[in-house]
A and B are shown apart, each in its own frame.
Chain A
Amino acid sequence: MDLFKIFSISGSGMAAQRSRMSVVAGNLANTETTRSPDGGPYRRRDVIFQAVPAEGEFSERLADLSDRPNDVQGVEVVGIKQSIRPPRKIFDPAHPDANPEGYVSLPDINPIEEMVDMLSAARSYEANLSAYNTTKSLIRKILDIGRNP
Chain B
Amino acid sequence: MAGFQLFNFTHQLLELSTRVRSARHEVLSANIANADTPGYRPKDLDFQSVMQSAVESNTDAIARGSEALPRGPLDVRSMVYEPEYPDNRHGEDRLDKNSVSIDRQMSLLTENSLAYEASLTLLSRALAGLRYVIGEGRR
Q: CB within 8 Å of B: which residues of A? A: 1-2, 5-6, 9-10, 12-13, 16-17, 20, 48-51, 54, 68, 70-75, 120-121, 123-124, 127-128, 130-131, 134-135, 137-138, 141-142, 144-145, 147-149
Contact = CB atoms under 8 A, between A and B. Distances in A.
Interface in B4-22: 22
Contacts of A147: 124
Contact of B77 (A5, A13, A70): A70
Contacts of B70: none
B29 A10 contact: yes
Interface of B: 22, 25-30, 32-38, 40, 43, 76-78, 80-81, 102, 105-106, 109-110, 113, 116-117, 120-121, 123-125, 127-128, 131
Contact of B120 (A49, A72, A144): A144
A134 B109 contact: yes
Contact of B33 (A10, A48, A142, A144): A10
A13 B34 contact: yes
B37 A148 contact: no
Contacts of B27: 72
Contacts of B77: 68, 70-71
A24 B76 CA distance: 36
Nearest to B105: A127
